[in-house]
């Protein structure tokens, strides 16, 4: 767990003990209970969009969506003022801290990925987890086009995927999303999910798992992805 995650988790716990969230507006939508920052108004469509994406992604991933508490801040800046980084998901606690302009499904998908695999095997800044959550973030962004528009260097694009497993910088999330986009397009959701499940027991042995499921090593698939990425 990264330092900023630990600090945010500790701060959220302190705020609860101090009763900070007691006067937040509570909106229960069944699977998701939203806690809204005081005197902050949000249109019902904002809540419904997140609920619908949560249900849709749960169906895609073949998991039963657990109930989630979602704390909503007006902006990143307000969150930071009180010591919270409102773009975070605590998988085991089934708790999200998000801001109004955050993508609808990214953090919610982290909860669902936690049902597929233990987060210890898919670290928070890892390629597979962040790629999946970026691809299913509910914005309908074409991650291939987005990646190309960012003009990443050839050195970045050719960095072996296994090196991104533990510490993937946030600016590379679109790249990770494009990898999931390619794998789903080439092999389908069934094999993609099976790959993630197998990592549950063997996170360090990704090549063997890739060969078993995709019939190619990750290095070979990366070369295929690179060709697909550059092809119109």
For the CA atoms of 115, 120, 124, 129, the dihedral, rounded to the nearest 10 degrees, stands at: -50
pLDDT tens per residue, range 96-108? 999 999 999 999 9
The Cα–Cα gap between 63 and 57 comes to 9
Q: CA nearest 125: which of 151, 87, 96?
A: 87
Q: What's the pTM?
A: 0.94
Q: What percent of the chain has pLDDT over 90?
A: 81
pLDDT tens per residue, range 17-40? 999 999 999 999 999 999 999 999
Lowest mean pLDDT among 34-43, 109-118, 123-132, 215-224: 123-132
Crossing angle, helix 106-116 and helix 127-135, to 10 degrees? 130
Q: What is the DSSP letter of 162?
A: G
As a whole number, the mean pLDDT across the chain is 93
pLDDT tens per residue, range 186-196? 999 999 999 99
* Average pLDDT over every residue of 188-212: 89
pLDDT tens per residue, range 117-170? 887 777 666 889 999 999 999 999 999 999 999 999 999 999 988 777 666 788
Buried-state track 115-147, b at ≥16 Cβ within 10 A, e below 16 = ebbebebbbbbbbbbbbbbbbbbbeeeebbebb
pLDDT tens per residue, range 52-93? 999 999 999 999 999 999 999 999 999 999 999 999 999 999
């Amino acid at each position: 767990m990264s330092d900023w995650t630990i600090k945010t988790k500790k701060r959220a716990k302190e705020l609860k003990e101090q009763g900070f969230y007691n006067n937040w507006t509570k909106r229960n939508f069944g699977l998701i209970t939203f806690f809204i920052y005081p005197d902050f108004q949000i249109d019902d469509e904002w809540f419904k969009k997140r609920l619908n994406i949560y249900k849709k992604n749960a169906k895609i991933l073949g998991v039963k969506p657990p109930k989630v508490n979602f704390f909503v801040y007006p902006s990143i800046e307000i969150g930071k003022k009180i010591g919270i980084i409102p773009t975070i998901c605590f998988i085991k606690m089934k708790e999200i801290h998000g801001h109004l302009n955050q993508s609808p499904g990214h953090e919610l998908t982290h909860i669902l990925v936690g049902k597929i695999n233990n987060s210890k095997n898919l670290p928070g800044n890892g390629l597979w987890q962040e790629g999946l959550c970026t691809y299913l973030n509910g914005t309908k962004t074409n991650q291939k086009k987005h990646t190309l528009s960012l003009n990443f260097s050839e050195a970045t694009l050719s960095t072996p995927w296994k090196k991104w497993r533990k510490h993937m910088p946030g600016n590379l999330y679109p790249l990770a999303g494009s990898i999931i986009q390619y794998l789903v397009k080439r092999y389908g959701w069934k094999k993609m999910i099976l790959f993630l499940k197998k990592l549950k027991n063997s996170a360090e042995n990704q090549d063997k798992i890739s060969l078993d499921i995709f019939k190619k090593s990750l290095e070979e698939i990366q070369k295929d992805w690179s060709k697909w990425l550059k092809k119109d």
